[in-house]
A and B are shown apart, each in its own frame.
Chain A
Amino acid sequence: MVDILIYIATALTGTGLLLALYRFLKGPTPADRVVAFDTLTLTTVSLIVIIALAEGRGIYLDVAVVYALLSFLGVIAVARYLERGF
């Protein structure tokens, strides 16, 4: 049962990764790509959690915590650059 759930979750997350990647590669404006990047970081956090669940190692979750708390920094950097800040 849990196995099936993990398979479904991985399929969904992988689809999300591919869709966001398509937008990142194609996206006409920089804003599109930045939003796609943000979506990709969030998808990555859920992928890390799924891997921790599939491998049965709870300690992998630390990596997800670090990502969840730091991932927005890159987006802020681009946003400040685009509005001619710094």
Chain B
Amino acid sequence: MSGLVLALTVLLAAAMIGAALVAVIGKSLPIAILSAGLVSLVASVLFLLLASPDVAMTEAAIGSGLTTFLFFFILGRMRGGEHD
């Protein structure tokens, strides 16, 4: 099983770094926010692989749910500001 876990770790790390790059240097702001949510999503699976289900659950409930939501809430209030 350890080969499987290793391959999965590499895959998840690559996905996470790709999503982080989109979040930081992508053109459109909503996509950047969505990518930050994706980073949290993949990170929570990585936390589970690192044998910490408590942290994985926190990241699932807070990082990818509420934080993404807060960003879109604020962005919806400031239409027109995202092009600066």
Binding site for B on A (CB under 8 A): 3, 6-7, 10, 14, 17-18, 21, 24-25, 30, 33-34, 37, 40-41, 44, 47-48, 51, 54-55, 57, 59-60, 62-63, 66-67, 70-71, 73-74, 77-78, 80-82, 84-86
Question: Which of A30, A54, A80, A81: most chain B CB closer than 10 A?
Answer: A81
Binding site for A on B (CB under 8 A): 1, 4-5, 7-8, 11, 15, 18-19, 22, 28, 30-31, 34-35, 37-38, 41-42, 44-45, 48-49, 51, 53, 56-57, 60-61, 64-65, 68-69, 72-73, 75-77, 79
Q: If the complex has contacts A25-B18, A78-B34, are A47 and B69 also in contact, measured as CB distance less than 8 A?
A: no
6 sampled A-B residue pairs with Cβ under 8 A: A6-B1, A7-B4, A18-B11, A21-B15, A81-B72, A81-B76
Partner of A51, one of B7, B49, B60: B49
Partner of B31, one of A33, A47, A59: A33
Q: If the complex has contacts A25-B22, A47-B45, are A54 and B53 also in contact, measured as CB distance less than 8 A?
A: no
A39 vs chain B, min Cβ distance (A): 11
Considering the chains assembled together, what is the distance between the CA atoms of A42 and B68 in angstroms? 17
Contact partners of A30 in chain B: CB under 8 A:
28, 30-31
Q: If the complex has contacts A10-B4, A33-B34, A54-B1, are A86 and B69 also in contact, measured as CB distance less than 8 A?
A: no
Of chain A, the residue at the smallest CB distance from B59 is A63
Partner of A60, one of B8, B30, B53, B77: B53
